[in-house]
Amino acid sequence: MKLPRMLITAPGSGTGKTMITCGILQALKNRGLRVSSFKCGPDYIDPMFHREAIGVSSYNLDSFLCGKSGVKELLVKYGKDTELAVIEGVMGYYDGLAGISVQGSAYDIADITDTPAVLVMDCKGMSVSVVPYIQGFLGYRDNSHIKGVILNRLSPGMYDRMKQMIESQTGIRVYGYVPVIKEGALDSRYLGLMLPHEVKDLKNRLEQLSETLEETLDLDALLMLARGASELEAGSEKKDEMDRLASRYRDLRIGIAMDEAFCFFYQDNLELIKESGANLVPFSPIRDRALPEDLDGLLLYGGYPELYAEELNRNETMRAAVRDAVKEGMPCIAECGGYMYLQEAIQNAGGEYFPMVGVLPGKSYHTDSLKRFGYITLKGGTVFGKEIGAIPAHEFHYYDSEVCGEAFQADKPLSKRSWRCMISTDTLLAGYPHIHYYGNQRVLQAYLDACEKWKNDRGKKR
């Protein structure tokens, strides 16, 4: 398959690659191009900004969570009906597993998919020093896949001289620059960027940013670079797994929490659930007074429940409905924020505790540092009563809990560190780890089997 594509990366976090990626997406959309967007790694928030920029879903490409074949499959699957795929990198270009490997890095995705990469260089406080910086990135791997650079936070008066110097001394193309854009900056909090709905006047800001990039970037040259990418061949292993799951669970109704408090989910997971035949039924634990009718299962993914602890607590009828459903045995997956919601109480940023659903023991409390960060492999436990093998997963949370569960051993890759985590029964899988179903689709199959059993057993009782 021929899919024009490029990867926007940077030497490290905080260099403006999300802002520039969103601006490029908006500019390409304004030109009338059908664009797909992707994010390297396990991040939830950056894809939300991609969705705001182009009005379509954004997907994650993660070689640890999904494997090489899964990465290829996802890129082909969600890029095939578009004219161009724009992929945003994660952290620094070569930063991967355990801080000592390139596996799982943006470079790894570029290498797996043979995608040309463009390096965003933050030029604040640098001039000539940019050259050896770029040379180091080009030379670190025999094929770095880096085909050009964008100079961020650069004075327009310096651009022509910087471009000539970089191109003559490194041999790669400079695709333009981005001046300092205060109104285009995206603010952060402890789990990453502020959420799109929290950014004032985001739509207009993206439009203004795209207009600037039309003037300062050579978008035509970037399109030529993307169109020169090699053909893609999807991995067959993950495709075979998906084919076995397709349309098997028709007519299941799965309630999924979706609002300001619960907004961290992999779009790939949701699409896979729908492809299985199940119907996703959104509800808001903040605003809705009751669960949707005739549900066969619950999904409580992550987000920022601690920011909305008072509102979640105030909705007593919803808390009671969720409590009753889980107690009665409705199959439920609760990840990170969803796990916190099921526990006895959540502490907000001010230190005040608010009672939550209370179907699981323990209270969740804020800490001043990351308690768990990065990839893990879950081993030794069962999922909805079934042994399904190892599960690649990811944790990223400043909150901790008095009770984190004992069902699985979490092993850090390339490390001797491990710990116990998660609560797992025949009807519940709950804990801090986030799971991408492409890593082990038997997780989803075990869950949907449990939902199907719940539906059938409920029908017999009527």
Q: Is the dihedral of CA 5, 9, 130, 213 positive or negative?
A: positive
- Tokens 């999300």 sit on residue: 18
336 is an active site residue: yes
Residue 138's SS3 state is helix
3-state secondary structure of 392: strand
Tokens, residue 77: 């699957």
Q: Identify the helix (H) or strand (E) that includes residue 69.
A: helix 63-79
Rounded distance between C-alpha atoms, residue 147 and residue 407, angstroms = 46
Judging by beta carbons within 10 Å of its beta carbon (0-12, 13-18, 19+), is residue 398 exposed, middle or buried? middle
Three-state SS at 422? strand
By C-alpha distance, which of 343, 417, 435 is closest to 381? 435
Q: Strand locations in 258-326, DSSP E?
A: 262-264, 279-283, 297-300, 302-303
Are the C-beta atoms of 194 and 11 separated by less than 8 Å?
no
Q: Which of 40, 336, 404, 421 is catalytic?
A: 336
| Alpha carbons 33 and 368: distance in angstroms, whole number | 44
- Amino acid identity of residue 227, one-letter, is R
Residue 39's identity, in one-letter code, is K
Active site residues: 336
